[in-house]
Amino acid sequence: MSSDAIAVQTAGVSADRTWLQTLHEWVTTVDHKRLGVLYVFYALIFLVIGGIEATIIRIQLMRAHNDFVSPQVFNRMFTLHGTTMIFFVIMPFMFGFANYLVPLMIGARDMAFPRLNAFSFWLTALGGTLLYFSIVGGSGLYGAGSAPDVGWWAYAPLTSRAFSPGHSADYWTIAVLVSGFGSIGTAVNLVATVLSMRCPGMKLSRMPLFAWLTLVMSGLVLISISPLSAAQIMLLVDRYLGGHFFDTQAGGSATLWMHFFWIFGHPEVYILVIPAFAFASEIIPVFSRKPIFGYPVMVGATVSIGFVSISVWAHHMFTIGMTSYSNSFFVLTTMIIAVPTGIKIFNWLGTMWGGKLQFKTPMLFCIGFLFQFLIAGLTGIMLGAAPFNWQLSGSYFVVAHFHYMIVGAILFCIFGAIYYWYPKITGRMLNESLGKLHFWLFVIGFHLTFDVMHVPGILGMPRRIYTYEPGRGWDTLNMIITIGAFIQGIAILLFLANLVFSYFGGSKAGNDPWDGWTLEWSVSSPPPVYNFASIPAVASRRPLWDLKHPEDPDTHYD
Amino acid sequence: MSAITTPVAQRPVNWRLPYKGNVGMACLIIAESAIFTIFVVAYLFYLGKSLTGPTPREVLEAPLFYTICLLSSSLTIHLASRFLERGKPGAFLALWFLTIVLGGLFLFGTGQEWHRLIYERGLTISTNLFGTTYYSLVGLHATHVTVGLLMLGIVLLLGLAGRVGQEHSARVDVLSLYWHFVDAVWVVVFTVVYVLGR
């Protein structure tokens, strides 16, 4: 009862606040829940920006010899689109959810280092701002800048002073460097939180899979974002101090940049997809009304994915001409990754098998994820075979493959997670019919775009071209791809409308709308500032199940 | 559903978790190690690939004295934090100050070496690949020493103001962990640059 009284009291106080005081509270906050919401809000803004850039790219490629944008603008669009979506949409989404949920799930009142948490968020925010500030400030403060146009992997020597004059490439470098420091700070924080802040009884073997997978993701951030930061520092030394790291005319190596970039770049894919696995591992059991199948194997598979993922990077570089030994090594390690990921798919299906499936919107998105993740994995195996890769590297087949992974797997899981945890975060349910409409429209748009996109790739259409000749058999396909992109855009607008209208008019959620099992559903929605009035203690993997079913608690089987 | 309360199961006795400061610093050290690894790899990869002189063999001399200074500062900081743990703030402050002096001496040595290389040998960061990789790697390490010295200096000032006591020894240990890391990196850099690299 006392906690209710506190809640009423704080509600009364917040009603008197002016908007300036509220803004001040949000800007100076060190509360993990507010920072989590800020991360997600920030990611949503950049999702819209990155989506507009994707739309511009698709309109330009809609038909042959289109002149919707100039070639220069097209180059800037795909550079901004890639950088934005990876660094300023998906990563903030993942860090936002990890921030919000990990302390609640492990029974803690905040993260291990709340001020570091705030600092990391604002670094990430500064990074995104810097990237777009290049448009106005790229040539000094004359309002005559230009956005970076070096592609999201910024291969040398294109980034050298001679080929990228002005400051647009510097803004790209510093934006990525600064947000990288933010990511490392958050990763340090998450590892320390998971290892040092668990409530009594929450042994590692009893943690929700979400916390486990966040731990593995954070470990990967520590060892793979840092090489990117190192490479960015080298690039800055080259551009500002006249260094020669990637200067081929002074004996430097452009290939070294590729290695350094992909040593970051491939684990990055797993940094993005492991949290998606984490969402699926929480959502699928709840809507199958069964505990997760093979918990220890899921943990083991995730850890082994983490390990193997740091030894596969050069499969992005088969076409540069490595030795046959290097090629064989990277083909083999790439194939090995299929084993733990296969185990994970098997276990999610095993969780659903024989369960009482409830096809709510979060579950629909997770089922879409399972299907699309499998196909993305299959095209990944195709591209992982060096001879096949020599044929299709740098074509739209590759673009289709990684969008299948990033949109079809990761973004689907993010949508699932938002539908699943929105009630906890806001206290209101998202509209279910709008949610289902969003899901089906997005599935149709997604498959129209990215299934079809494989075909022009096989027909030889290279990525990053701003236009193409008519009569190569690419025209109709590109038109279909663009139509699919518009359907996805409409679906996302519906989703954003749902977020706004449900916040004001959605039905009240209560503490536990999905009949969940993890600790976050035991507190009110939204949770109080201090999370738990008294620190909980747990005796099994599903503490709320034990509480709801005292006659048959999990502790009997642990 | 709203009747659910926070679960409180039987509290396990002896529930102890690692200290969050140590975990956080260990994570930072992992991340920093990855950064240094990339710089070391670049240094080794570009050994002997410079198109013009000077070469490492011509200009580098192993800074043995300053290396001994830095390595022994690991010992003094360790002893300092042990004294703090046992509640002897005087001995702690003296050894802490000695650590800062040794670290400062090391930085002075680096500065002297750079001065010699730049003004007598004509090697700058833009001279050749060796210059680029050498100044980046050694400079990255020197930056870490500088940051470490700033943090040690803050603790020294707080200590002189009487604000560092026995109860802070766990936190001071976290800082000394960082300092040990900076020393360990120097062992690697020294081996790579002054032993293998010549």
Which of helix, strand or coil describes residue A359? coil
| Non-local CB neighbours of A279 within 8 Å, separated by 6+ positions | A97, A210, A366, A413, A414, A416, A417, A420
Q: Which pLDDT value is given to residue A141?
A: 53
**Among B20, B46, B140, beta carbon nearest to A196:** B20
| Chain A residues within 8 A of B23 when measuring between CB atoms | 112, 191-192, 195-196
Q: Which residue of B has its CA nearest to A234?
A: B136
- Contact between B23 and A192 using a beta-carbon 8 Å cutoff: yes
What is the interface size between A and B, counted as CB pairs within 8 Å?
161
Q: Which pLDDT value is given to residue A16?
A: 73
**Among B18, B35, B46, beta carbon nearest to A230:** B35
Q: Rounded distance, CA A133 to CA A122, Å? A: 16
Q: Which pLDDT value is given to residue A554?
A: 86
Per the CB < 8 A criterion, the answer to whether A184 and B35 are in contact is: no
Beta pairing partners, A428: A508
Q: Which residue of A has its CA nearest to B26?
A: A188
Average pLDDT of each block of 10 consecutive residues along chain A (558 residues)?
43 68 94 97 97 97 94 93 97 97 96 97 96 77 71 92 87 95 97 96 95 97 96 96 94 94 96 97 97 96 96 94 94 95 97 96 97 96 95 96 97 97 96 97 98 96 95 95 97 97 94 95 94 92 91 82
Where b means 16+ CB within 10 Å and e means fewer, B117-154 reads beeeeebbbbbbbbbbbbbbbbbbbbebbeebbeebee
Where b means 16+ CB within 10 Å and e means fewer, B157-166 reads eebeeeebee
Contact map slice: B 66-125 vs A, CB within 8 A: 125
Which of helix, strand or coil describes residue B36? helix
- Contact between A187 and B31 using a beta-carbon 8 Å cutoff: yes
Which ipTM value was assigned to this complex?
A: 0.94
**Among A187, A193, A522, beta carbon nearest to B6:** A522
- Running DSSP on this structure, what letter comes out for residue A242? -
**Among B10, B28, B38, beta carbon nearest to A227:** B38
In-domain check, residue B7: no
Q: Is B37 on the interface with A (CB under 8 A)?
A: yes
**Which structural domain range is residue B104 located in?**
20-47+63-196
Neighbour count for residue A248 (Cβ, 10 Å): 13
Domain count, chain B: 1
- Contact between A537 and B12 using a beta-carbon 8 Å cutoff: yes
In-domain check, residue B13: no
| Chain A residues within 8 A of B31 when measuring between CB atoms | 184, 187-188, 222-223, 225-226
| Chain A residues within 8 A of B28 when measuring between CB atoms | 184, 188
- Amino acid symbol at A4: D
CA angle A355, A357, A363 (to 5 degrees): 125
Question: Which stretches in chain B have pLDDT values below 70?
Answer: 1-5, 8-9
What CATH number corresponds to the domain at position B137? 1.20.120.80
Q: Which residue of A has its CA nearest to B1?
A: A512
H or E element at residue A373: helix A361-384
Domains of chain A: 31-556 (1.20.210.10)
- Ramachandran assignment for A483, one of left (phi > 0), alpha (psi -120 to 50 degrees), beta (any other): alpha
pTM exceeds 0.80 for this model: yes
Per the CB < 8 A criterion, the answer to whether A482 and A58 are in contact is: yes
Q: Which residue of A has its CA nearest to B45?
A: A256
- Contact between A512 and B1 using a beta-carbon 8 Å cutoff: yes
Where b means 16+ CB within 10 Å and e means fewer, A387-413 reads eebeebbebbbbbbbbbbbbbbbbbbb
| Chain B residues within 8 A of A186 when measuring between CB atoms | none
Phi, psi (rounded to 5 degrees) for A346: -60, -45
In-domain check, residue B115: yes
In-domain check, residue B120: yes
In-domain check, residue B139: yes
Per the CB < 8 A criterion, the answer to whether A281 and A292 are in contact is: yes
In-domain check, residue B15: no
| Chain B residues within 8 A of A532 when measuring between CB atoms | 6
